[in-house]
A and B are shown apart, each in its own frame.
Chain A
Amino acid sequence: MWEEARDCPPVEVVRVDELIRAEALAGRPRAADAAPSFEDVFTREFPRVARTIHHIVGDRARAEEVTQDAFLELLRHWRTVAGYDRPDLWVRRVAIRKAQRERHRAWRRVELERSIVGDEAVEPPTPAPEVLAAVRRLAPKQRAVVVLFYFEDRPMTEIAEVLGCSESTGWSQLHTARRHLAQALAEEVPDDVR
């Protein structure tokens, strides 16, 4: 799927390069030559980040908006972020924070939740909608940990990096989420995460 997605119109490649070159000419440092281009990162990561955000917010249109904004942010700061070891984690962190931002300054949490996952929300495809529905009833941090752990299959070190928390906090959120989900789905919850 990455190979298919790489078939972007060449004209846009030129435009991205022009944008970055124009800003480099303004006196800002460029990323190391060995670093991947913005287009490379976008092509590889946009669908992945979009799928993850779709699972977190539960609505396709909102996931598209949030993911697009996160990549715009990446382009704005590309010269700096290109020098990082993991630009892919940086853009995930921005996207997840954007998705959750209302909650951090939210005074109408219930109303927001209802507006995010309304009747017309287009949810991700799944063979088990009742499981994803239970995931979406989790607290936002728990939901993000669950999606990154079970959907993206990321190690807790990376999840902690993305969510800006310690690994122990990440594990704690995951265990709490599993207990809640087990209760909601009437399933057993083994001590060890599998």
Chain B
Amino acid sequence: MSVDDRLRAAFGETDRSWDEQVPDTLAVVTARRRQESAVRRGAAAALVAAAAVATVAVTVSQRGDSSPTPSENPTTPATTSATAPAEVPASLVGTWLSRPITHADVRRAARAAGTPDKADLMLAGLPATPFRVVLVFNGDRHETLQYVRSGGDDELFDQENVEMRADHLVLSPQFAEGENVHTWVVEDGVLRMDFVSSTEPEDQAVTAEAWQRLFYDTAAFTQER
């Protein structure tokens, strides 16, 4: 018997018990999503309320008057979750390649994230340095694939959904909760990103900020043709 025959025989049994779980699991998944949406709406409402309070406070202080009146030119608070995600800009779509990332860059990223003691943990989970980071922005899918190029091989390292909010790039990992926000600029075919914030939980004791700073901010990216 060949190895192929043995594999097909071993995989030949279909576990039907998963089918029975469909209704219950669908209910769980939709409930989790509904809970997320409720939390997000609550956060958006809080942001709107806070922005409204801030607007009133600014108006009062500028007028030097104790009787606040509505501003003649009210502005819309820049909430993030109530607006539609903008398209990924054409200038960002494509493949981007970093310079070689070194041991020192990893330590620098850990330090910048306020966790210099985590650099060794980060290094242990990475390929041998130096390696390059390859970012592939897919405009149709609103996602970015992040590869690490080491020794001629590209290893898929992470996969995040991409949204544009105002001038910020928001990356939501497809394998974890939360989101990561960066500013970005493309000039003369060079992409530079700068970390703003993260709500992604830490991963095996290393904060998302440290990983994000390492992969996105350490080096500028040149477009790969």
In the complex with contacts A47-B18, A54-B15, A164-B145, A68-B25 CB distance below 8 A = yes
Judged by a CB distance under 8 angstroms, whether B70 is at the interface is: no
Q: Does A82 contact B (CB under 8 A)?
A: no
| Docked pose: A116 CA to B142 CA in angstroms | 32
The 8 Å CB contact of B22, one of A5, A28, A77, A150, is: A5
Rounded to whole angstroms, the CA-CA distance of A132 and B15 in the bound complex is 14
Contact A47 B19, beta carbon cutoff 8 Å: yes
| Contact in complex: A146, B7 (CB < 8 Å) | yes
Which of B4, B23, B141, B174 is close to A193, meaning CB atoms less than 8 Å apart? B4
A125 B174 Cβ-Cβ under 8 A = no
* A127-148 interface bits toward B, Cβ cutoff 8 Å, 1 = contact, 0 = none: 1100110010000000000110
**Interface flags, A64-77, vs B, CB<8A=1, else 0:** 10001101110111
CB proximity to B under 8 Å, residues A53-105: 54-55, 64, 68-69, 71-73, 75-77, 80, 84, 93-94, 97-98, 101-102, 104-105
| B32 contacts partner chain A, Cβ-Cβ < 8 Å | yes
CA–CA, A194 to B206, complex, Å? 44
A32 at the interface (CB under 8 A from B): no
Name the A residues within 8 Å of B20 (CB-CB): 4-5
- Which of B45-53, B109-117, B152-160, B180-188 interfaces with chain A? B152-160
Are the C-beta atoms of A128 and B211 separated by less than 8 Å? no
B210 → chain A, closest Cβ, in Å?
11
Known contacts A26-B82, A104-B157, A127-B13; A43 and B6 CB within 8 A of each other: no
Query: What 1/0 flags go to A161-172 for Cβ under 8 Å of B?
Result: 001110000000
Return the contact of B203 from the options A22, A98, A105, A182 (Cβ within 8 A): A105
Contact of A187 among B3, B26, B156, B211 (CB under 8 A): B3
Chain A residue nearest to B121 in the complex (CB): A107
What's the count of A-B pairs with C-beta under 8 Å?
171
Check if B26 sits within 8 Å of A12, measured CB to CB: yes
B209, chain A: closest CB distance, angstroms: 14
List chain A residues, Cβ under 8 A from B174.
Answer: 73, 94, 97-98
B22 touches A55 (CB 8 A): no
B204 CB contacts on chain A under 8 angstroms: 102, 105-108
Chain B residues 1-56 with CB under 8 Å of chain A are: 1-16, 18-23, 25-34, 36-37
Q: How far is the CB of B205 from chain A (nearest CB, A)?
A: 9
Q: Which residue of A lies closest to B31 (CB)?
A: A15
In Å, the complex CA distance between A47 and B18 comes to: 5
Q: With A5-B22, A94-B175, A106-B125 as given contacts, are A55 and B3 in contact (CB-CB < 8 Å)?
A: no
Whose C-beta in chain B lies nearest to the C-beta of A71?
B29
List B contacts of A2 (CB < 8 A): 19
- The complex places the Cα of A62 from the Cα of B223 at a distance, in Å, of 39
With an 8 A cutoff between CB atoms, is B85 at the interface? yes
List 27 A–B pairs whose Cβ atoms lie within 8 Å, in order of A's numbering: A2-B19, A4-B19, A5-B20, A12-B26, A15-B30, A16-B30, A23-B37, A46-B21, A47-B22, A51-B14, A51-B18, A64-B25, A68-B29, A72-B29, A72-B32, A72-B33, A84-B141, A101-B175, A104-B125, A104-B156, A106-B125, A107-B121, A128-B9, A131-B9, A151-B11, A187-B3, A188-B3
Starting from the known contacts A23-B37, A104-B157, 18 additional A-B residue pairs (CB-CB under 8 Å) come to A43-B22, A51-B18, A55-B11, A69-B175, A80-B161, A97-B175, A101-B176, A107-B124, A107-B204, A127-B13, A131-B9, A132-B10, A151-B11, A164-B159, A181-B7, A182-B3, A187-B6, A188-B2
